[in-house]
Chain A
């Protein structure tokens, strides 16, 4: 049973346009969400996070939106750049402290076309 779902395995966007990556979760105990970017043969790189007490968090070109009632979050990248091409993982945690591991989605491969 997948608790974190990224239903789009891939996404292509033109340079300069907005990229929207979606993530759904099923576990209502999740209260902290993160987005990671990953290049092949490298570890994930943290991008941005959001706590369940917020519905939006912004950091430069990256904005994460959280809809708790729908158990849905999204990552917006605007404007998209060719260097943004990578696999993006959504992750969730059931506790802001302690030893609870992150639960990852399967990832969405973003291709930004120049």
Chain B
């Protein structure tokens, strides 16, 4: 089945540094990738929709200058948390969408997530 690889799985870094998270679709081309954030005991909150070759579409309340998204190829999207602070600590999950899917399929394949801890 389709696999999405997310790296790194866990990051601990000092406040003020920038952190890059990679999301790769391993066996399919993903024209669209999504980035989610999950707080403890909360739902998956969509942060942005990333389309290959164009600018990401951010959800209301998500700072685009804070969370830089690049989707330079059909198999790779990156999320960079710039000048990270403790309040950015969270679990970030990416998902990739296959170009064609139908009933019985799942429209999005998820990575295993990245736990970001800012000290």
Binding site for B on A (CB under 8 A): 9, 32, 34, 36, 41-46, 49, 51, 89, 93, 96-97, 99, 101-107
The docked-state distance in angstroms from the alpha carbon of A43 to that of B21 is: 14
Please give 7 more A-B residue pairs, beta carbons under 8 A apart, in addition to A44-B44, A44-B110, A103-B46.
Answer: A41-B10, A43-B4, A45-B110, A49-B104, A96-B103, A105-B43, A106-B42
Binds A, one of B11-19, B62-70, B74-82, B111-119: B111-119
B105 to A49, Cβ gap below 8 A?
A: yes
The binding surface of chain A is classed by DSSP as: loop
The docked-state distance in angstroms from the alpha carbon of A105 to that of B43 is: 6
B115 to A89, Cβ gap below 8 A?
A: no
Interface centre among A32, A51, A102 (most CB of B within 10 A): A102
Binding site for A on B (CB under 8 A): 4, 6, 9-10, 32, 34, 41-44, 46, 49, 51, 91, 93, 95, 97, 100-113, 115
B113 to A41, Cβ gap below 8 A?
A: yes
B43 to A99, Cβ gap below 8 A?
A: no
Contacts of A96 in B (CB 8 A): 101-103, 107
User: A32 with B112: in contact, given A43-B6, A99-B97, A107-B43 (CB under 8 Å)?
Assistant: no
B102 to A42, Cβ gap below 8 A?
A: no
A99 to B107, Cβ gap below 8 A?
A: no
A41 to B102, Cβ gap below 8 A?
A: no
